[in-house]
Structure 1
Amino acid sequence: MTKILILEDSPPLQSFLKTLLQASGYELSICDKGLDGFARLSEQSYDLVLLDLGLLDMDGQDWLIEFRQWSALPVLVLSARDGEVEKVTALDNGANDYITKPFSANELLARIRVLLRTQSQPSVAFTCGNIKIDPQKHIVTTSGNEIKLTKKEYAILLLLFQNKDKVLTHNAILSHIWGAQYINRPEYVRVHVAQLRQKLEANPASPKYILTEPAVGYRLVD
């Protein structure tokens, strides 16, 4: 069954979406806080996210920016903010589509179907030895067994896969994953890479795939 995560803080709209989407055969999880949404995404796999920009604990635009650091899962924004700048910003931040409230049930269902059709197309997965990462489904496996990673661990691994055989400096990783304000803090990267090795390497003390370039950074190799 197709699983949709809904991030919406309005109880009436939550009720409407639950009734509509369950009747259409979708399995749902509903949160009114962005951090709760991240927690749900780390616990199980979803096929689509419906995102309200006005969450209880954070702005939806900020949620999008952080989410796109580690996942390519489709996001459909549902928002009462109908200004062109707001829409363009959401799309630039990683939204796949944007629908303005109020919207009809038929329009919402049609847009969901379009995004799910795109999602159902074969995704490009990266492999390195017995490690495989599927950016579209946000799944990492070793020898076919799914491995649970934190958001930062996943983001670092995806960046390494996207630059396989290339040395990534500590500051390049910090800037991409944490932001430019975190450069010159290599200990952040070292801790997360050590955790990745514990989860992915047969012998973390003598890694086969995630190699250290002394005083420089890291490199992913087959």
Structure 2
Amino acid sequence: MAETILVLEDDPAMQSFLGTLLKTQQHQVYSFGEGIAALQHLVQQPVDLILLDLGLADMDGQLWLAQLRSWCDTPVIVISARHREQDKVQALDNGANDYVTKPFSAAELLARVRANLRHNTPQQQAFSFGDIRLDPVLRQVSRAGAEVHLTKTEYDILLLLMRHADKVLTHNQILTQVWGKTYTDRPEYVRVHMAQLRQKLEDSPAAPVYLKTEPGVGYRLKMT
């Protein structure tokens, strides 16, 4: 069955472009220009993925996203002309799964769509990337078949990143999930432990292939 995608974009030309592009990949597309109408549709008919422009005519896209996340966990890719890091961080903290800045290539957007649709399917018990494998049942991590010793904090960070592979996680999201809500002002904690994870899991820790930094925002486990 074709995946369903809701496009919330108030620019008619961009809305038409996105709809046409997604339909070439056999997706079923619902297009809206106003946030309230899109929310009403989602209440009646859930979709597999949402593409959201932050500059809506009837409400701010950040507010729309926060309202959506109060009752819906459908993956959201923000597509916006806003390039400031604080806009990206706010969108991710509000629950966006990905953030693409305009202008973008069709190939890049389709890759992000595929990744988010893939990670919306039920997860297997074991996670893997490259030659790294994590078994959440046994709480074991191996590299090329050999067990890797991680501290509890390193393991918790890695598991969090693997469960949200290809999604940028902000410093605050990682701190809240791993350390607790009282540690959101300590991003250095995350930097230290990410450096340790890279030493143990990357061939070249100074030029990581998988454990990527999103400058000024957070980290992403790159799978695609």
Aligned to 1:184: none
Amino acid at match of 1:21: L
Q: Secondary structure at the match of 1:120?
A: coil
Cα displacement (A) at 1:114 = 0.4
Amino acid at match of 2:94: N
Give distance in 2, aligned partners of 1:15 and 1:8.
9
Aligned to 2:105: 104
Give distance in 1, aligned partners of 2:41 and 2:80.
21
Q: Could you tell me the percent identity over the aligned residues? A: 53
State yes or no: 1:29 paired with 2:30: yes
Aligned to 2:62: 61
Which TM-score applies when normalising by structure 1?
A: 0.54
Give distance in 2, aligned partners of 1:121 and 1:107.
24
Aligned to 1:9: 10
Which TM-score applies when normalising by structure 2?
A: 0.54
Cα displacement (A) at 1:19 = 1.2
Q: Does the 8 Å contact 2:7/2:19 carry over to 1?
A: no
Cα displacement (A) at 1:45 = 1.9
Cα displacement (A) at 1:121 = 2.1
Task: Write out the 4+ residue segments of structure 1 that deviate beyond 6 Å after TM superposition.
Answer: none
Q: Secondary structure at the match of 2:63?
A: helix
Aligned to 1:78: 79
Across the two proteins, how many residue pairs are aligned to each other?
A: 123
Give distance in 2, aligned partners of 1:122 and 1:77.
23
Amino acid at match of 2:25: S
Aligned to 1:91: 92
RMSD value, Cα: 1.1
Q: Secondary structure at the match of 2:120?
A: helix
Q: How does 1:172-183 map to 2 (within 5 A)?
A: none
Amino acid at match of 2:24: A
Q: Does the 8 Å contact 2:8/2:35 carry over to 1?
A: yes
Q: How does 1:179-194 map to 2 (within 5 A)?
A: none
